[in-house]
């Protein structure tokens, strides 16, 4: 090995052993922006809950049940004696409509038609997904669903705006 090659290898070795400089991140995360977003979402949820509770208070003829999943519901047609409720993977047939908190129809049952839905295996309104598992064949249930359990912050990009609570009357027609 020549002296020139030895010096070249030695210098490469010394350079590779030098202390690495930490690279600075391209973007800096700002935890205060996450905190402010969280605060805003909490305020939105509080406002929605206030509107829902006021809606329920106006309906003095019916009692609503608050689900642990974040929505309210009541049985419209008598509870079914059938003991079978849908579970994950079941194919159900439902009819449903969607209203706003002023009881104005957004999407009618005629518009939606009969929906075949595979429980917990297809995308659908989260509040209804959870609510279906409380129902039995032949029951009709009215769900009051806050936006985080409905169409979230974006709405449906059509008739349902951002951060809007919805009411849905759902009939469980059949479980296959």
Confidence tier at 13 by pLDDT (50, 70, 90): low
Domain that holds residue 165: 34-175
Residue 12 lies in a domain: no
Residue 16 lies in a domain: no
Number of domains in the chain: 1
Cα–Cα distance measured from residue 5 to residue 53, given in angstroms and rounded to the nearest whole number = 82
Cα–Cα distance measured from residue 1 to residue 9, given in angstroms and rounded to the nearest whole number = 11
Query: What per-residue confidence (pLDDT) applies to 119?
Result: 96
Query: What per-residue confidence (pLDDT) applies to 35?
Result: 76
Cα–Cα distance measured from residue 146 to residue 167, given in angstroms and rounded to the nearest whole number = 9
The mean pLDDT value for 1-14 works out to: 57
Beta bridge partners of 174: 93
Residue 25 lies in a domain: no
Residue 14 lies in a domain: no
Residue 124 lies in a domain: yes
> Cβ distance 91 to 176 under 8 Å?
yes
Query: What per-residue confidence (pLDDT) applies to 66?
Result: 95
pLDDT tens for residues 69-125? 999 999 887 777 777 899 999 999 999 999 999 999 999 999 999 999 999 999 999
CA dihedral 158, 67, 78, 58 (to 10 degrees): -70
CATH number at residue 161: 3.10.50.40
Phi, psi of 128 (to 5 degrees): -75, -40
Residue 71 lies in a domain: yes
pLDDT tens for residues 43-85? 988 999 999 999 999 999 999 999 999 999 998 877 777 778 9
pLDDT tens for residues 130-142? 999 999 999 999 9
The residue ranking higher by pLDDT, 91 or 18, is 91
Residue 2 lies in a domain: no
Q: Which of 74, 77, 51, 47 lies closest to 134 in space, CA to CA? A: 74
DSSP-assigned states of every residue in 120-133: TTS---HHHHHHHT
Q: Token pair for residue 74? A: 């009541």
> Cβ distance 168 to 128 under 8 Å?
yes
Q: What ranges make up the beta strands (E) of the chain?
A: 65-66, 72-75, 91-99, 105-107, 114-118, 140-145, 166-175
Residue 86 lies in a domain: yes
């Amino acid at each position: 090995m020549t002296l020139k090659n030895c010096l070249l290898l030695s210098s490469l070795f010394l350079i590779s052993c030098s202390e690495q400089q930490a690279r600075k991140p391209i973007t800096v995360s700002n935890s205060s922006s996450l905190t402010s977003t969280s605060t805003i979402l909490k305020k939105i949820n509080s406002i929605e809950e206030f509107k829902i509770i006021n809606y329920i208070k106006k309906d003095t003829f019916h009692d609503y049940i608050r689900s642990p999943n974040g929505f309210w519901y009541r049985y419209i047609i008598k509870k079914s004696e059938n003991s079978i409720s849908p579970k994950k993977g079941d194919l159900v047939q439902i009819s449903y409509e969607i209203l706003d908190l002023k009881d104005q129809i957004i999407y009618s049952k005629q518009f939606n038609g009969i929906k075949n839905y595979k429980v917990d295996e297809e995308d659908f309104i989260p509040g209804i997904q959870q609510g279906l598992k409380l129902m039995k064949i032949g029951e009709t249930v009215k769900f009051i669903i806050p936006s985080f359990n409905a169409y979230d912050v974006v709405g449906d990009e059509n008739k349902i705006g951002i951060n809007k609570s919805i009411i849905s009357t759902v009939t469980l027609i059949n479980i296959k």
